[in-house]
């Protein structure tokens, strides 16, 4: 098994008896078979109001997450790219990193391949950021019981929690008390919203039953689509590396 934990933010963070307790007790592990499919592991302090901070990571799967959502792996909007700036920045970075045809031809071990691949990836990323805008996503995924009120309450709880770090010893007990109070209010409101939403769902009486609705959603879900390589870029790298 491989450990995915990275960074210095504790996964467990709570206040008990006016004292703060922190720990890295939560461990995320995976088999070596899927290690290369997982990326961007991190701890999110504002994700939940639990004693345990949220753990977030991405798994690269060919599955759609919603109804009729066309998913793409393209990050930058190449239709609005300034290719002259891209080419100039790319050539500059290749010279700075000493990435040449002769250097690539002299690679004779796996470690050098990995290092060179990482350098080229970083160079392409910087060149893209310099010459083209980031592609905006219109994908929105929400839960039926979530609301603006809950979002504001959640942000307030996160703010109160962050204040504990900077609070003076004389004010710490008051700051902790205010945080716990806001946390309890948010959790009660969230629980009430979930229960009300579930009751509303169960109370619906229409021609379509629960399972018919689920199968209808599955039938309308689109598969993830990969963008094809840009012909211009493909020819560019073929000429450069061959």
Predicted confidence (pLDDT) per residue in 181-194, tens digit: 999 999 999 999 99
Of 47, 49, 4, nearest in space to 26 by CA: 4
Please state at what angle helix 148-166 crosses helix 172-203, rounded to 10 degrees.
160
- Percent of the residues in the chain that have a pLDDT greater than 90, as a whole number: 17
User: What per-residue confidence (pLDDT) applies to 88?
Assistant: 92
Model confidence, pTM: 0.36
* 205: its two tokens: 């009486």
Predicted confidence (pLDDT) per residue in 90-100, tens digit: 999 999 988 88
| pLDDT surpasses 90 at 235 | no
Of 191, 217, 227, 196, nearest in space to 74 by CA: 227
Predicted confidence (pLDDT) per residue in 219-230, tens digit: 655 555 555 555
Rounded to whole angstroms, how far apart are CA atoms 238 and 232?
10
- Strand pairing category for 29-30 and 2-3: antiparallel
Residue 26 in contact with residue 12, Cβ under 8 Å?
yes
């Amino acid at each position: 098994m491989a450990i995915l934990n990275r960074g210095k933010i504790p996964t467990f963070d709570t206040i008990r008896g006016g004292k703060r307790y922190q720990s890295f007790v939560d461990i995320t592990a995976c088999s070596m078979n899927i290690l290369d499919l997982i990326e961007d592991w991190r701890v999110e302090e504002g994700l939940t109001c639990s004693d345990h901070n949220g753990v977030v990571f991405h798994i690269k799967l060919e599955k759609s997450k919603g109804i009729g959502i066309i998913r793409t792996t393209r990050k930058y909007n190449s239709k609005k790219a300034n290719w002259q700036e891209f080419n100039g920045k790319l050539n500059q970075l290749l010279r700075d990193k000493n990435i040449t045809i002769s250097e690539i031809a002299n690679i004779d071990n796996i470690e050098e391949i990995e290092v060179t691949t990482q350098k080229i990836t970083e160079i392409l990323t910087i060149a893209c950021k310099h010459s083209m805008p980031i592609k905006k996503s219109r994908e929105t995924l929400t839960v039926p019981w979530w609301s603006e009120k809950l979002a504001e309450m959640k942000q307030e709880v996160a703010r109160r929690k962050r204040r504990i770090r900077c609070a003076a010893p004389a004010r710490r007990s008051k700051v902790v008390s205010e945080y716990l109070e806001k946390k309890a209010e948010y959790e009660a409101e969230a629980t009430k919203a979930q229960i009300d939403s579930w009751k509303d769902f169960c109370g619906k009486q229409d021609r379509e039953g629960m399972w018919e609705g689920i199968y209808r959603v599955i039938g309308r879900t689109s598969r993830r689509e990969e963008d094809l390589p840009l012909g211009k870029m493909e020819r560019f790298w073929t000429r450069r590396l061959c």
